């Protein structure tokens, strides 16, 4: 049981915030997906909400095909937002702590009515233009990180495995180029 200290240090450097919050968070994401699947048989992804919600305001055939699911997708998204708030009110606010949760140092914390909230330092133009490409790409590519990455990979779908490999590879290349160009944060 004697680990090479240099190797150990290298592993620690790759995971400066440990793996607890990632593994536990992933477990919760999986459990939310499983609960919906167990009750309804639906492997729910997050990005279809963008198009299904547009069906409320646009008559385009591409959006109208989601009329049957738009109401529950709105409910699903409301749940995700409030789930984020539940995290903010507990662990992010320090009300609950765990050795499996590493708070980290990214962004800015601020308080509203006793709840510690968080704001990003990433520049708005990156969020907006990145968001446009996310909106186009996830809908053309038939899924996002939850549809392909969680439900599709969980289904051992060859299409989803290829989709995930594609967007992961391109995202890594993009982020590296953007960082190399000196854009930060």
Partner 1 sequence: MSDDRHPLFKPLVFVGGLIFGFGLGFSHMARPEVVLNFLQFDDLGLPFVMFGAAIVSGIAFALLPRLRDAAPLTGDPYERRLKPFDRNVLVGGAVFGVGWGLSGICPGAAYASLGVGNVAILWALAGMFVGAYAQGYWRSRSGARDGAAAGAD
For partner 1, the binding residues in 29-68 under the rule CB under 8 A are 29-51, 53-54, 58, 60-63, 65-66, 68
Residue of the chain from 112, 114, 181, 182 that contacts partner 1 (CB under 8 A): 112
Q: Which is nearer to partner 1, 1 or 14 (CB)?
A: 14
Q: Which is nearer to partner 1, 8 or 60 (CB)?
A: 60
| Residue 12 binds partner 1 (CB under 8 A) | no
Number of DSSP helices (H) and strands (E) in the chain, helices first? 8, 2
| Integer angstrom CA distances of residue 117 from 60, 89, 103 | 38, 8, 13
Distance CA 139, CA 12 (A): 37
Among 33, 29, 30, which Cα is nearest to 44's?
A: 33
We find the least distance from the C-beta atom of residue 133 to partner 1, in angstroms, to be 3
Both structure tokens of 35 = 């609960």
Both structure tokens of 11 = 């592993």
Classify 48 in phi/psi space as left (phi over 0), alpha (psi -120 to 50) or beta: alpha
Tell me the backbone φ, ψ of residue 117, rounded to 5 degrees. Answer: -105, 170
| Residue 17 binds partner 1 (CB under 8 A) | yes
Distance CA 143, CA 146 (A): 7
Residue of the chain from 8, 10, 79, 95 that contacts partner 1 (CB under 8 A): 79
Q: Which is nearer to partner 1, 5 or 39 (CB)?
A: 39
Q: Per-residue contact track with partner 1, 153 to 182, x per CB under 8 A?
A: xxxxxxxx-xxx-xxxxxxxxxxx-xx---
Q: Which is nearer to partner 1, 95 or 126 (CB)?
A: 126
| Residue 145 binds partner 1 (CB under 8 A) | yes
Residue of the chain from 78, 94, 95, 97 that contacts partner 1 (CB under 8 A): 78
Classify 53 in phi/psi space as left (phi over 0), alpha (psi -120 to 50) or beta: alpha
Residues 120-139 that bind partner 1 (CB under 8 A): 120-122, 124, 126-139
Q: Which is nearer to partner 1, 2 or 10 (CB)?
A: 10
Both structure tokens of 184 = 């930060």
Q: Which is nearer to partner 1, 1 or 35 (CB)?
A: 35
């Amino acid at each position: 049981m004697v680990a090479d200290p240099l190797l150990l240090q290298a592993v620690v450097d790759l995971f400066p915030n440990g793996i607890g919050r990632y593994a536990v968070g992933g477990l919760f994401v999986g459990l939310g997906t499983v609960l919906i699947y167990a009750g309804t048989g639906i492997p729910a992804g997050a990005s279809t909400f963008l198009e299904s919600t547009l069906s409320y305001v646009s008559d385009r055939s591409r959006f109208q095909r989601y009329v049957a699911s738009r109401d529950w997708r709105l409910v699903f998204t409301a749940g995700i937002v409030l789930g984020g708030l539940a995290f903010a009110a507990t662990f992010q606010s320090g009300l609950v702590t765990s050795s499996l949760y590493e708070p980290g140092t990214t962004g800015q914390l601020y308080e509203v009515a006793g709840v510690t909230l968080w704001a990003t330092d990433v520049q708005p133009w990156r969020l907006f233009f990145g968001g446009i490409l996310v909106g186009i790409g996830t809908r053309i590519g038939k899924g996002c990180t939850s549809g392909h990455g969680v439900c599709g990979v969980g289904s051992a779908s060859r299409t989803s495995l290829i989709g995930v490999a594609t967007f992961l590879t391109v995202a890594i290349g993009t982020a590296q180029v953007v960082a190399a160009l000196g854009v930060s944060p």
